[in-house]
Structure 1
Amino acid sequence: MQMRQAKPFSHQFKKDWALMSYYERFEQIIALVLSVVISVIILISLYQLIRTVFDLLIIDAFNPLEHQVFQTVFGMIMTLLIAMEFKHSIVKVALRQDSIIQVKTVVLIALIALSRKFVILDPEANSPAKISALAGAAVAMGIVYWLLRDRDDKIGNHQKV
């Protein structure tokens, strides 16, 4: 029994490129450039995270459970996660797996960003009104994400039938 080999990415890309309109090619170029830029940002951020963790935990001998150290380190980690999610969504566009704007992905990234804000938030330095507003925004974004996911699940079930 012969196994069917997948076509190389470059061959498929050339085929797809020939079928694209000028604007679709423009979108592809922008997606690839953004992907490279975000990759550089991720690498620099990862280097800074490693350096910060080394400085804080090894050289300065800070306790990782200390509130300020926790906020700094996990804030940086969540920033990296946000950048990686952006990169992932852009790569999906570049590989022509999704259209240029995926609302559910944007909402998910916003939820991650709000979660990061709660991690780095100093409750003593912020008013209850600000914390309540952030909490309300997180709940609203969660509801929007749930509604989008629910809609996508229903659409997916109808297409299978």
Structure 2
Amino acid sequence: MNQEAASTAIKSRFAQALTQWNVMTLYERFEQGVALILTGLIAAIIMVALLELSKEVFQLVLVDAANPLDHTLFQALFGQILTVLIALEFKHSILKVVARKESIIQVKTVLLIGLLAISRKFIVLDIGEIQADTILALAAAVVALAIAYWLIRERENSRAR
């Protein structure tokens, strides 16, 4: 895309946003403002987390201080990667509100983010130091979130038919 086409696309989006803004209620404007601020804050958090993760990976590669196949190091790095991905998914769900594709954060998205967070927890768990009842509780939470997600998806699919 050349610069002129990009400029035209930006102007078109801005005009569309302005048109939408003019027809919003006061509360809808408030909601949009909050969503924009949250998006900026989460983007800043993602950037800091990404910089820290990059710094750690480069130190491992350049200094070669540790074996990247060491399971504890791998768990820590993979946990950090998943944290960044969870934050990205969360930011994406807020961007849907800003783009006015959805009026509020969708429950399905929250359930999926919860599943990601618990999956991350399973990855970084040290099995030798965690009690069985904690693992059982996490597994029960995964099953509950998965069932809730499935029920919501089935309801949406039946409405679409």
Instruction: Give the alignment's TM-score, normalised by structure 1.
Output: 0.90
Matched residue, 2:94 = 90
Moved over 6 A (4+): none
The answer on whether the counterparts of 2:94 and 2:105 sit within 8 Å (CA) in structure 1 is no
The answer on whether the counterparts of 1:57 and 1:63 sit within 8 Å (CA) in structure 2 is no
C-alpha RMSD over aligned residues: 1.5
The CA deviation at 1:61 is 3.6
Identity of aligned residues (%): 50
Matched residue, 1:99 = 103
Matched residue, 1:20 = 24
| Structure 1 residue matching 2:102: 3-state secondary structure | coil
The CA deviation at 1:149 is 1.2
The CA deviation at 1:136 is 0.8
| Structure 2 residue matching 1:56: 3-state secondary structure | helix
Select the residue among 125, 131, 134 that pairs with 2:138.
134
The CA deviation at 1:101 is 2.6
The CA deviation at 1:67 is 1.1
Matched residue, 2:153 = 149
Instruction: Give the alignment's TM-score, normalised by structure 2.
Output: 0.90
Distance (Å, rounded) in 2 between the aligned partners of 1:74 and 1:46:
12
The answer on whether the counterparts of 2:97 and 2:103 sit within 8 Å (CA) in structure 1 is yes
Distance (Å, rounded) in 2 between the aligned partners of 1:129 and 1:58:
41
Distance (Å, rounded) in 2 between the aligned partners of 1:118 and 1:9:
42
Distance (Å, rounded) in 1 between the aligned partners of 2:149 and 2:54:
32
The answer on whether the counterparts of 1:56 and 1:69 sit within 8 Å (CA) in structure 2 is no
Distance (Å, rounded) in 2 between the aligned partners of 1:57 and 1:154:
51
Aligned residues: 153
The CA deviation at 1:131 is 0.6
Matched residue, 2:80 = 76
Verify: 1:59 aligned to 2:63, yes or no.
yes
Distance (Å, rounded) in 2 between the aligned partners of 1:125 and 1:55:
28
Select the residue among 33, 37, 41 that pairs with 2:37.
33
The CA deviation at 1:60 is 3.6
- Structure 1 spans left out of the alignment, 5+ residues: none
- Structure 2 spans left out of the alignment, 5+ residues: 1-7
